[in-house]
Amino acid sequence: MKFFVDTAETKDIHELAATGLLDGVTTNPTLIAKSGRKILDVIAEICAIVPGPVSAEVAATDYENILREAKVLRRIATNVTIKVPLTPDGLRACKYLSSDGAMVNVTLCFSAAQALLAAKAGATFISPFVGRLDDVGQDGMELISDIVTIYRNYEALHTQVLVASVRSPMHVIHAAKIGAHVATLPPAVLRSLYAHPLTEKGLTTFLADWQKTGQTIA
């Protein structure tokens, strides 16, 4: 499974990229707004940090303006992934952009039917929002399972399932067991994957026992 980080804060991206475990980055208008910076500057900086896909979302909702904004975003770097909404105009733009060689992330997916349309439109990634489905009493992981199953039935579909709106490590584990290709995680959730109290307890014991030996490794 690939790990993307869902943020526009370049300090977090620098720190996580240094681990060698980060495969890409996703952003959205809300995250850009929180950064307090201009989108073109933020995306350019992120693309210089991470060689993998960097999702930059258009703000337009009609076909012509989606393409106009996508043209601007594509000029930033070769690893920019154009993020479009799962609407008729967004899917039409996805078809055009993917045919033109662009990576496209179709976002705000809440049904398997929507995911199938995105794949037929040539999306590089489909972003189902599991946490938001959980919030309204539906099972977000059931949607991931349905999409993965459908995509596997058709060799001609190459869209990767990018699990979004991830709230906890368990979302990540469940998605990995189902076979999702990518999970995009807030920095705090990505860092929490390292943590386990028994790991910390064991390390403390090992270090204490090593200190008693009086040895050094040199």
* Nearest C-alpha neighbor of 81 from the set 178, 191, 172, 162: 162
What pLDDT score does 201 carry?
Answer: 97
Task: Please measure the distance between the N-terminal and C-terminal CA atoms of the chain and give it in whole angstroms.
Answer: 37
* 157-166 pLDDT tens trace: 999 999 999 9
Which run of H or of E encompasses 40?
helix 39-49
CA dist list (Å): 169 to 81, 111, 193: 25, 23, 6
Domains of the chain: 2-213 (3.20.20.70)
CA 208 to CA 7: how far, in whole Å? 38
- Residue with structure tokens 């707004």? 33
Q: Which of 83, 120, 177, 212 is catalytic?
A: 83
* Nearest C-alpha neighbor of 182 from the set 60, 26, 75, 69: 26
What pLDDT score does 139 carry?
Answer: 97
Q: What is the pTM of this model?
A: 0.95
Chain-wide mean pLDDT for the chain?
97
Active site residue 71: no
- Please compute the mean of the pLDDT values over residues 164-184 and round it to a whole number: 98
CA neighbours within 13 Å on the CB side: how many for 1? 19
Residues 24, 4: contact at Cβ < 8 Å? yes
> Percentage of the chain surpassing pLDDT 70?
100
- Please compute the mean of the pLDDT values over residues 189-211 and round it to a whole number: 96
* 74-130 pLDDT tens trace: 999 999 999 999 999 999 999 999 999 999 999 999 999 999 999 999 999 999 999
